[in-house]
Chains A and B, each alone.
Chain A
Amino acid sequence: TQLLEQSPQFLSIQEGENLTVYCNSSSVFSSLQWYRQEPGEGPVLLVTVVTGGEVKKLKRLTFQFGDARKDSSLHITAAQPGDTGLYLCAGSRGNQFYFGTGTSLTVIP
């Protein structure tokens, strides 16, 4: 059983649509990160959130950390083909670091 569950697992949308990816856990995390990974490459850090309720925006991407620091969401506005990739959430808890199950996003031109 994974400590961090992401949903949906797969997402295929048309260019210009909006989407939200969820990262959920029953455990509290001291910080949470989101990464994007393209095929054959390592994950690239997009954002780190550390405060419950925190919202961060990165151009068309909006990240939110839940008030209880157990969950997070990633919202993409007007998705573009360049957003295609595997989105991973990851959380820090004690001296351990846990990755989510991943959401594979495909944006169709």
Chain B
Amino acid sequence: KAGVTQTPRYLIKTRGQQVTLSCSPISGHRSVSWYQQTPGQGLQFLFEYFSETQRNKGNFPGRFSGRQFSNSRSEMNVSTLELGDSALYLCASSQDRSNYGYTFGSGTRLTVV
């Protein structure tokens, strides 16, 4: 079956702009989580969605938001981009709780200039 699909793979934006990233989970997976990965901070949890509801949220400013659609596809949005938002953004899906592990997408590499 198809894996987790993230689009786009690469993105270059200017400070102050906004960006929307997309994630299509594995068919049948209802939980989608988003992570930010940087060399200095490692993997940092952004938020988790389950059945269109945000179930958990990490410690990120309100500029970071997300949503999940009825088909479980998810988007995350970052407004007023800052240089420090440059990172690999990873989406991960699981059937329900992540107790048994995630399946990750290949990520979106965002560069803010």
Contact = CB atoms under 8 A, between A and B. Distances in A.
Interface stretch (B12-20, B63-71, B72-80, B99-107): B99-107
B101 A45 contact: yes
A96 B109 contact: no
Contact of A41 (B42, B43, B106): B106
Interface residues of B, number: 23
A41 B107 contact: yes
Contacts of A82: none
Most central of B56, B88, B101, B104 by chain A CB within 10 Å = B101
A30 interface: yes
A68 interface: no
A97 B109 contact: no
A85 interface: no
A52 interface: no
A22 interface: no
Given A42-B90, A42-B92, A88-B43, A97 B98 contact: yes
B45 A44 contact: no
Interface string B37-67: 0000011010000000001100000000000
Given A42-B90, A42-B106, A42-B107, A99 B42 contact: yes
Given A96-B56, A97-B45, A99-B43, A40 B100 contact: no
Interface of B: 4, 33, 35, 42-43, 45, 55-56, 88, 90, 92, 97-107, 109
The 5 tightest CB contacts between A and B, nearest first, are A42-B104, A99-B43, A45-B101, A33-B101, A97-B98
